[in-house]
């Protein structure tokens, strides 16, 4: 597939947001966030607990509105109440617990829920459901009960439910947090394929550092601010800064840095298993 043109998609300008603790106290969650995400981009947002990453995600779907500043979703200002439904249709949301998004007793009925609420004709809904399930590799489970599926399968059904709405963007708020390593991998591969093959913009909020390696760009948040932005290699090369805000470089990155520190002539910025194998093979060929 030809590379998708990455045009302007979602923007935040000077966004401040405060949660109300009680009548006399508010907690600052977003502190002047400026962000631009291009259409077709795969962006991972990292940050320690309380950094504001989930709050930002909810702003990009109009679940929350800024106290100050503006958020645009494909040219639509989230403060315009007449655009809320279209914004949420354009930027679908997938949450941490898939059980909270499963509303039917049969997989295909669950995926059809969104299109039915849009008033789409039944024949067209069947097509949308079939396409969505095929996109996430769950077409063989269309007549199964979603509650009997594995965690990874449930999350893929939840993603299919969003895809059936034909969104331009999928926002995933820690969708792998409750999954085992196998489930995490199947969900991440599904998300990456949707981005590459369908050109869907992906914004993936996570606390798993290795999931950032799937991204075009990584954004790091701390105390309600965007503190880093760049490719995975650019961001994780700043290992001291990453450590200072309570995050870690992915495991292979930690290993490659230890090898480099011990005198091995390898790239200390190596982040994936394949890259590390290449580096070790190169090193061996030199001996």
pLDDT tens per residue across span 72-95? 999 999 999 999 999 998 999 998
Confidence at residue 6, expressed as pLDDT on a 0 to 100 scale = 52
Q: Select from 234, 100, 86 the least CA-distant residue to 173.
A: 100
Q: How far apart are CA 138 and CA 268, in angstroms?
A: 39
Edge-to-edge strand list for the sheet holding 201-205: 91-94, 169-173, 201-205, 42-46, 217-222, 225-230
- Say which residue, 2 or 210, is predicted with more confidence: 210
Q: Select from 180, 224, 239 the least CA-distant residue to 52.
A: 224
Query: Collapsing DSSP states into helix, strand and coil, what is residue 117?
Result: helix
- Asked which of 106-110, 113-117, 203-207, 209-213 is least confident by mean pLDDT, the reply is 113-117
User: Quick one: pLDDT band at residue 1, thresholds 50, 70, 90?
Assistant: very low
Confidence at residue 3, expressed as pLDDT on a 0 to 100 scale = 41
Angle at 198 between CA 194 and CA 204, to 5 degrees: 40
Mean per-residue pLDDT, 245-255: 85
Structure tokens at 97: 């617990």
> What pLDDT digit, counting tens, does each position of 119-159 carry?
889 889 999 999 999 989 999 999 999 889 999 999 999 99
Question: Buried b / exposed e across 42-69, counting CB within 10 Å, b at 16+?
Answer: bbbbbbeeebbbbbbbbbbbbbbbbeeb
Mean per-residue pLDDT, 179-201: 90
Q: Select from 145, 169, 225, 227 the least CA-distant residue to 43.
A: 169
- Asked which of 22-36, 156-170, 249-263 is least confident by mean pLDDT, the reply is 249-263
* Strand (E) or helix (H) holding 39: none
Structure tokens at 28: 């600052």
Structure tokens at 215: 């991204």
User: Quick one: pLDDT band at residue 7, thresholds 50, 70, 90?
Assistant: low
Q: Select from 83, 149, 57, 58 the least CA-distant residue to 110.
A: 149
Domain spans of the chain?
8-249, 250-287
Pick the CATH number of 8-249 from 3.40.50.300, 3.30.9.10, 3.40.50.10160, 3.50.30.10: 3.40.50.300
Mean per-residue pLDDT, 17-30: 89
Give the number of residues written for the chain: 287
User: Quick one: pLDDT band at residue 282, thresholds 50, 70, 90?
Assistant: confident
User: Quick one: pLDDT band at residue 117, thresholds 50, 70, 90?
Assistant: confident
- Mean of the per-residue pLDDT values for the chain? 89
């Amino acid at each position: 597939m030809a590379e998708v043109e990455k045009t302007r998609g979602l923007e935040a300008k000077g966004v401040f947001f405060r949660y109300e603790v009680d009548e006399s106290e508010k907690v600052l969650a977003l502190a002047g966030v400026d962000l631009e995400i291009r259409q077709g981009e795969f962006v991972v947002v990292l940050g320690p607990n309380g950094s504001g990453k989930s709050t930002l995600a909810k702003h990009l779907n109009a679940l929350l509105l800024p106290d100050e500043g503006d958020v645009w979703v494909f040219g639509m200002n989230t403060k315009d109440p007449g655009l809320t439904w279209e914004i949420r249709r354009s930027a679908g949301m997938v949450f941490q617990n898939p059980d909270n998004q499963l509303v039917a007793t049969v997989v295909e009925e669950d995926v059809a829920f969104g299109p039915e609420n849009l008033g789409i004709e039944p024949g067209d809904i069947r097509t949308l459901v079939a396409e969505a399930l095929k996109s996430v590799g769950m077409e063989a489970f269309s007549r199964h009960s979603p509650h009997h599926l594995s965690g990874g399968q449930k999350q893929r059904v939840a993603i299919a439910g969003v895809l059936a709405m034909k969104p331009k963007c999928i926002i995933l708020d820690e969708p792998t947090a409750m999954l085992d390593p196998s489930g995490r991998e199947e969900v991440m591969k599904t998300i990456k394929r949707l981005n590459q093959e369908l050109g869907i913009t992906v914004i993936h909020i996570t606390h798993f550092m290795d999931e950032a390696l799937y991204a075009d760009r990584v954004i790091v948040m701390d105390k309600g601010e965007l503190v880093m932005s760049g490719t995975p290699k650019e961001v994780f090369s700043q290992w001291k800064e990453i450590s200072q805000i309570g995050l870690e470089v992915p495991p292979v990155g930690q290993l490659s840095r230890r090898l480099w520190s011990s005198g091995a002539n390898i790239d200390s910025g190596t982040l994936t298993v394949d890259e590390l194998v290449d580096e070790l093979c190169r090193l061996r060929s030199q001996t």
